[in-house]
Amino acid sequence: MDSSAESSSVVGGRRGDLIERLRRSPVLGDGAMGSMLMSGGGKWTVPEELNFEAPERVRAVHAAYVAAGSELVVTNSFGGSPAKLALVGLEAKAVECNRLAASLAREAAGEGVWVGGSIGPTGRFLEPLGDLTLAEAEAGFALQATALEAGGADLIVVETMSSLEEAAAAVRAAKHSCGLPVVCTMTFEATGRPGEFRTMMGVSVEQLLELVTLGADAIGVNCGQGPAAMLEVVQQIRALDSGVPLIAQPNAGAPRLEAGKAVYDVSPAVLGEFAARARDLGVALIGACCGSSPAHIQAMAEVLRS
């Protein structure tokens, strides 16, 4: 059955429940936002700044993914926490930044495609390793979640986390501050020991289960790895039998610099093969991360529809 046709049907003018759909059949997400915006050039400090300065560029990236077959697009708010925006002097615009990010995605997605409100790491260490208190972090994540909901998001996507404490703070804050489902992915890297993967902060794959106890509606892995290594992580997460849907979003390979620009070597066809294998492993939300493009998503969509 054509999975996109199933999810794109709108009952009563509204999208169906995403988590319920994930339990029945795979949903295709989108690909990279930051690298897509970077390819367009221009002067800006962080991608979120373009929500104000060039909203048409952000909207166009979302629209390109929808046209390629994405059933869910994720907002340009990855670095939209007040703590992260403070690093570039934009913390006073945090509410507007996140609300606008969600509304731009919603405009491009229409009513038949889900919008995930992205919440990424703050870029700072929590106490006692750093100066960011847990209360400050949670307040910032709650601000993001409520603003993303107000802008039209269907769920909150906590993503690319390395610290279990920060991931837990984001999941907890989102669950308590808004009425949307909350999913969470962490970024795992090979440790050099056979079959072992951990985050940069030493979190094991097994510790993902702690996020489920906090109410995460789906868990998984994104970024950090190309498709081959990510499939190993997926198999380990699947073995945990968490009871919630599984997410996997690999990079388009490892970047290398050419003429000062990051180049990713994994082709759309290879990510298409990843999509098929991820589906066979029971992954419910399949997408891509850094270096990917609408061409990669289109290849994945063609495989998942066949």
Does residue 49 surpass a pLDDT of 80?
Answer: yes
Establish if 16 belongs to a structural domain.
no
For the segment 160-172, the average pLDDT, to the nearest whole number, is 98
CB 151 within 8 A of CB 178: no
Does residue 7 surpass a pLDDT of 80?
Answer: no
pLDDT tens digits, 249-277: 999 988 788 877 778 899 999 999 999 99
CA dihedral of 265, 227, 120, 89, whole degrees rounded to 10: -10
Total count of residues recorded for the chain: 306
Q: By percentage, how much of the chain surpasses pLDDT 90? A: 86
Establish if 13 belongs to a structural domain.
no
Establish if 219 belongs to a structural domain.
yes
DSSP 3-state assignment of 244? coil
- The Cα 132–Cα 170 span in angstroms is 14
CB 78 within 8 A of CB 34: yes
Number of neighbours of residue 79 by Cβ within 10 angstroms: 23
**Mean pLDDT taken over the chain:** 93
CA 187, 190, 191, 193 torsion-angle sign: positive
Q: How far is CA 108 from CA 103, 145, 147, 182, in A?
A: 9, 20, 18, 22
- The Cα 64–Cα 74 span in angstroms is 13
Does residue 302 surpass a pLDDT of 90?
Answer: yes
Does residue 57 surpass a pLDDT of 80?
Answer: yes
Q: According to the model, what pLDDT value does residue 3 have?
A: 39
- The Cα 213–Cα 204 span in angstroms is 16
Does residue 211 surpass a pLDDT of 50?
Answer: yes
Q: According to the model, what pLDDT value does residue 15 have?
A: 65
Establish if 262 belongs to a structural domain.
yes
Confidence of residue 11 (pLDDT cuts 50, 70, 90): very low
Provide the CATH number for the domain around residue 181: 3.20.20.330
Q: How many domains does the chain have?
A: 1
User: 89: which DSSP letter?
Assistant: T
Establish if 18 belongs to a structural domain.
no
Residue type (1 letter), 196: E
For the segment 119-127, the average pLDDT, to the nearest whole number, is 96
Q: Tell me which residue range forms the domain holding 180.
A: 3-8+24-305
Beta bridge mates, 218: 183
Backbone angles phi, psi at 52, to 5 degrees: -90, -45
Q: Of 79, 80, 66, give the one whose Cα is nearest residue 15.
A: 66
Establish if 284 belongs to a structural domain.
yes
Q: Of 132, 114, 148, 97, give the one whose Cα is nearest residue 20.
A: 114
For the segment 98-125, the average pLDDT, to the nearest whole number, is 96
Confidence of residue 43 (pLDDT cuts 50, 70, 90): confident
Q: pTM value?
A: 0.93
- The Cα 61–Cα 292 span in angstroms is 12
pLDDT tens digits, 221-230: 999 999 999 9
State the residue for tokens 């891509």: 288
Instruction: Dig out the tokens for 2 from the structure.
Output: 């054509």
Establish if 15 belongs to a structural domain.
no
Establish if 198 belongs to a structural domain.
yes
Q: How far is CA 99 from CA 13, 64, 180, 284, in A?
A: 22, 21, 15, 27
Instruction: Dig out the tokens for 132 from the structure.
Output: 């960011």
The continuous run of DSSP H or E covering 299 comes out as helix 294-305
DSSP track, 30-79: ---SHHHHHTT----SSGGGHHHH-HHHHHHHHHHHHHHT-SEEE-S-TT
CB 80 within 8 A of CB 121: no
